[in-house]
Amino acid sequence: MQSPASGLSMLLFIEQILNGLQLGVMLFLMSAGLTLVFGIMQVINLAHGSFYMIGAYVAATVMQQTGSFMLGLLAALPVSALIGMLVEALVLRRLYQRDHLDQVLATFGLILFFNELTRIIWGRQPLFMDGPEWLSGTVELIPGAPYPSYRLAIIVVGIAVAVLLYLLFTRTRLGMQIRAGSSNREMVAALGVNIKLLYTLVFGLGTLLAGLAGVMAGPILAVESGMGESILILTFVVIVIGGIGSIRGALIAALLVGMVDTLGRAFLPGLFRLVLPAAQADGVGASLSSMAIYILMAAILVWKPKGLFPAQA
């Protein structure tokens, strides 16, 4: 027979697991596109977070006008994909053969531009948006533990995207070309594949996924200028842990980072209270939990310097 207290903490634990899963799924959407761009085109793109922000802003605006979340989503996806492809054609395409340093500088310039542009268009005040009406309730997955349906929907969407990406890469011609392009660019071009177009499409797919993540984050977080950067850094951690260029690595690392971050924030202060005075424990716990994923990353790199699933041998 369980005591009520431990039953309650069990429910809390399950809730935090779901929260971790939800953060992991968001990170996966961000990192799947970015790791492809890193791995296939060998280009470091700091501006990936900008497409997340663009997705969120477009969805929030369309939703304010029409009142429909789904319309906002439908508008945001093509817009982020198109802007992504435009940026690829105008800026990044010229940088593929360049030093990483040039890529960092140019994409840093892109971030400054997009952040300031959103401030000009939408102002400095954050926008707030609601999720769709039919997802506003809660679901009792386990009796006694209601969980917001919207967050559950994010998890479902993330899993669906993972399955779709898997099918795209293993079962379609396009996926085969992308995989081939990542291992030998010249050969694929010589075989008559339009590699330029392929790269633009891959980039567009990446920014579309980033836009999707942005739309889904909209109802949970505030939509504001610079929102892309906080998730971008986490995305980098995911990609480094998973191994650059590996979608499978991105999925596993995203879930790992989501779990460690969420569970650390929820439970580390409590754990430290067992051994330290309360005030001190909260301080140590809070600072340690915000550093937890970086410590995880350092530990994994000591063990495997190329990440868990290095894409290229």
Partner 1 sequence: MEAEGTVSGAGLIAMQNFLTRKIAVLSTCLILLLALPVIMQLLDEPYLISLSSRILIYAIAAVSLYLILGYGGMVSLGHAAFFGTGAYVVGILASASFDASPVFSWPFQMDGSERLLVALPLALLISAFAALIIGFFSLRTSGMYFIMITLAFAQMLYYFYVSLEGYGGDDGLSLYSRSQLPLLDLGDDTHFYYLCLTFLLLFLLFCHRLVNSRFGRVIQGIRENEKRMQSLGYAVFGYKLACFVIAGAGAGLAGALMANQSEFVSPGLMHWTQSGEILVMVLLGGMGTLFGPVLGAVALLSMEEILSMFTEHWMVYLGPFLILVVLFTRGGLYGLLIGRER
| Residues contributing to the site for partner 1 (CB under 8 A) | 38, 42, 44, 46, 91, 94-95, 98, 100-102, 104-106, 108-117, 119-120, 229, 233, 236-237, 239-240, 244, 283, 286-287, 290-291, 294-295, 297-298, 301-302, 305-307
Cβ atoms 40, 178 nearer than 8 A: yes
Distances (CA, A) of 246 to 65, 144, 243, 284: 39, 39, 6, 35
How many other CB atoms are found less than 10 A from the CB of residue 225? 21
Record the tokens describing residue 78, joined without a space: 């093509």
d(CA 192, CA 171): 20
Spatial CA neighbour of 152 closest among 9, 264, 15: 15
Least distance from C-beta 63 to partner 1, angstroms? 25
Which residues neighbour 113 within 8 Å (Cβ) at sequence distance 6 or greater? none
Measured from the CB atom, the residue of 160 and 233 that comes closer to partner 1 is 233
d(CA 88, CA 82): 10
Record the tokens describing residue 182, joined without a space: 């990542």
Least distance from C-beta 202 to partner 1, angstroms? 17
**Mapping DSSP to helix (H, G, I), strand (E, B) and coil, where does residue 272 land?**
helix
Measured from the CB atom, the residue of 170 and 287 that comes closer to partner 1 is 287
**What are the phi and psi torsion angles at 97 (to 5°)?**
-90, 0
Least distance from C-beta 143 to partner 1, angstroms? 37
Residue type at 27?
Answer: L
DSSP result, 22-59: HHHHHHHHHHHHHHHHHHHH----TTHHHHHHHHHHHH
Least distance from C-beta 101 to partner 1, angstroms? 5
Least distance from C-beta 88 to partner 1, angstroms? 13
Least distance from C-beta 251 to partner 1, angstroms? 18
H or E element at residue 77: helix 69-90
Least distance from C-beta 240 to partner 1, angstroms? 5
Record the tokens describing residue 109, joined without a space: 């310039």
Measured from the CB atom, the residue of 69 and 236 that comes closer to partner 1 is 236
Measured from the CB atom, the residue of 94 and 171 that comes closer to partner 1 is 94
Residue type at 157?
Answer: V
Measured from the CB atom, the residue of 106 and 195 that comes closer to partner 1 is 106
**What are the phi and psi torsion angles at 147 (to 5°)?**
-130, 135
d(CA 220, CA 111): 23
Measured from the CB atom, the residue of 120 and 313 that comes closer to partner 1 is 120
Measured from the CB atom, the residue of 171 and 196 that comes closer to partner 1 is 196
Measured from the CB atom, the residue of 67 and 109 that comes closer to partner 1 is 109
Least distance from C-beta 239 to partner 1, angstroms? 7
d(CA 262, CA 4): 24
Measured from the CB atom, the residue of 198 and 268 that comes closer to partner 1 is 268
